[in-house]
Copies of this chain bind each other. A is one copy, B any other.
Amino acid sequence: MGGNLLIVHGGGPTAVINASLYGALTAAEEAKAKGKVGHIYAAKNGTGGLLKKELLVLEDVPEEKKRLLFQTPGSAIGTSRDELEQKEYEAMADILLEKEIGYVLFNGGNGTMDTCGKLFKTCASRGMDVKVMGIPKTMDNDIAITDHSPGFGSAARFIAQSTKELCADVKGLPIHVVVMEASGRNAGWITAASALAGDGGGLGPDLIYLPERPFDEEQYIEDIKKLLEKKTGIVVVASEGLKDKNGSPVVEPIFQVGRSTYFGDVSAHLANLVIKRLGYKARGEKPGLVGRASMQAVSPVDREEAVLAGRLACEAALNGESGKMVAFRRISTKPYKAEPFLADISEVMLHERTMPDAFINEQGNGVTEAFKEWCRPLIGGELPEMISFN
């Protein structure tokens, strides 16, 4: 008997964080049935709940109920985004002792992996026998070391499919320019995935602006002017985090609390530039959280890997691993094959992974074929075909 097991979610949810919960829960239940685990707990609403000793007991959930996790966005156990100080890690360690917890699984992004690593260190420095493992989760795909993270494939599929639909919708309409805003403040992975809208008889976006490149308003206006000579229904996809050459957001932040900054909408800003400077009809769309919560856009590969990551993190902890995160290594792209491995959490902590140069075109307003090839299998291959007569 290695004590009780605790699952903690951190940061904003993805469409498949609950799929990882399913994987972790299933592995934990198997271990419990063999007497290797005592109780299975979840922190209610993340570390915030843990520090208040608010634990949910997740035992004997019938399989048909558990499978609803596959169609439930958000975090079914709640999550939080807290900046923690050392005294709070000590308090958490005390709670682990009190509740006789031998295994902790943290599911989250960079911030959560930082928390995961720090709790691991705190426990180790106190000589506690607690295994602490990380499950990667981010729609933004900005976790280091791993080829990609669960949550990204589905967010990428949403933006690719939605952009494809948007392109079909506005083709030939008297709307001249539509700007679609995509998630990812510092990493352009989701924004870039919109390029896959060109698959399956789709038109694809005309321009893609990534946060990895400084946004130049003059060049943007030039890019649009050139396109307007040829057509209407121009589709632009822009990252919510676009910055100018000085590193300042192209729109002002409107609200800031702790690690979170809320910016004005880039989509509205870029659309208004077209209206004001060129006098053409333009509008902005910002699906925002609708994108990360869309269950209809879930990529089957992404969900499968999310389940696997949850299961493997649990099994690794039970096998005595600690201070590590489940990561994925790509073996092959055609056909797609990736294998999981365990990465040291210290290597992962707070490194933000942005897009490499090889994935961004020379003009800085689109992506390369290499990126599309890399990304395509993660969204589940080519999107459904469309038809057009005009």
Residues of A with Cβ closer than 8 Å to B? 12-13, 42, 44-45, 49, 56, 58, 65-66, 68-69, 71-81, 161-162, 165-166, 168-174, 178, 180, 201, 254-255, 257, 260, 262, 264-265, 267-268, 272, 275, 281-290, 292-297, 384-390
Min distance, Cβ A118 to any Cβ of chain B, angstroms: 20
Please give, as numbers and ranges, the residues of chain B lying within 8 Å of A72 by CB-CB distance.
168, 386-388
Q: A66, A68, A293 — which one has the most chain B CB atoms within 10 A of its CB? A: A293
Distance between A252 CB and nearest chain B CB, rounded to angstroms:
12
B13–A169 touching, CB < 8 Å: yes
A267 to B268, CA, bound (A): 12
Q: Are B165 and A76 in contact (CB under 8 A)?
A: no
A233 to chain B, nearest CB (A): 9
Could you list 26 A-B pairs, sorted by A, with CB under 8 Å? Answer: A12-B173, A45-B390, A68-B201, A68-B387, A71-B384, A72-B168, A73-B165, A73-B169, A73-B386, A74-B170, A74-B388, A76-B387, A76-B389, A76-B390, A81-B173, A81-B174, A166-B293, A174-B257, A178-B289, A180-B290, A254-B272, A262-B282, A285-B287, A285-B289, A287-B287, A287-B290
* Bound: A286/B265 CA distance, A: 10
Closest 6 CB pairs of A and B: A165-B293, A78-B390, A74-B168, A68-B387, A285-B288, A296-B296
Most buried by B among A68, A166, A178, A286: A286
B residues less than 8 Å from A44 (CB atoms)? 390
Complex Cα gap A44–B78 (Å): 51
The answer to whether A45 and B172 touch (CB under 8 A), given A260-B281, A265-B265, A296-B297, is yes
Asked if A174 and B80 make an inter-chain contact with CB atoms under 8 angstroms apart, the answer reads: yes
Contact status A78-B275, CB under 8 Å: no
Given that A77-B390, A275-B254 are contacting pairs, would A295 and B172 also be in contact in the complex, using a CB cutoff of 8 Å? no
Tell me the bound Cα distance from A128 to B235 in angstroms.
42
B contact residues around A173 at 8 Å (CB): 12-13, 79-81
A384 proximity list for chain B (CB < 8 A): 71, 295
In the complex, what residues of B have CB within 8 A of residue A296's CB? Answer: 161, 294, 296-297
Give chain B residues whose Cβ lies under 8 Å from the Cβ of A75. Answer: 172, 390
Among B265, B282, B389, the residue within 8 A (CB) of A77 is B389
Give CA–CA (A12, B265) in the complex, Å.
24
Give the Cβ gap from A288 to chain B, nearest Cβ, in Å: 4
Q: Please name all residues of chain B whose beta carbon is closer than 8 Å to the beta carbon of A257 when the two chains form the complex.
A: 174, 281
Residue among A13, A75, A281, A289 with the most chain B CB within 10 A? A289
Partner of A389, one of B42, B169, B264, B288: B42
Q: Are A265 and B268 closer than 8 Å at their CB atoms?
A: yes
A332 to B80, CA, bound (A): 46
Give, as a whole number of angstroms, the nearest-CB distance from A348 to chain B: 23
CB distance from A140 to the nearest CB of B (A): 15
Assembled-state Cα–Cα distance A201/B387 (Å): 37
CB distance from A96 to the nearest CB of B (A): 20
A78 touches B172 (CB 8 A): yes
* A359 and B293 alpha carbons, distance in the complex (Å): 29
Given contacts A72-B386, A387-B65, contact A265 B284 (CB under 8 A): yes
- Whether the Cβ atoms of A290 and B297 lie closer than 8 Å is no
CB of A143, distance to nearest CB on chain B (Å)? 20
Give 8 new A-B contacts, CB below 8 A, not counting A81-B174, A262-B281, A285-B287: A71-B386, A74-B169, A178-B289, A180-B290, A262-B282, A264-B268, A285-B290, A287-B290
Given contacts A56-B390, A285-B287, contact A168 B73 (CB under 8 A): yes
> Closest CB of chain B to A18's CB: distance in Å?
8
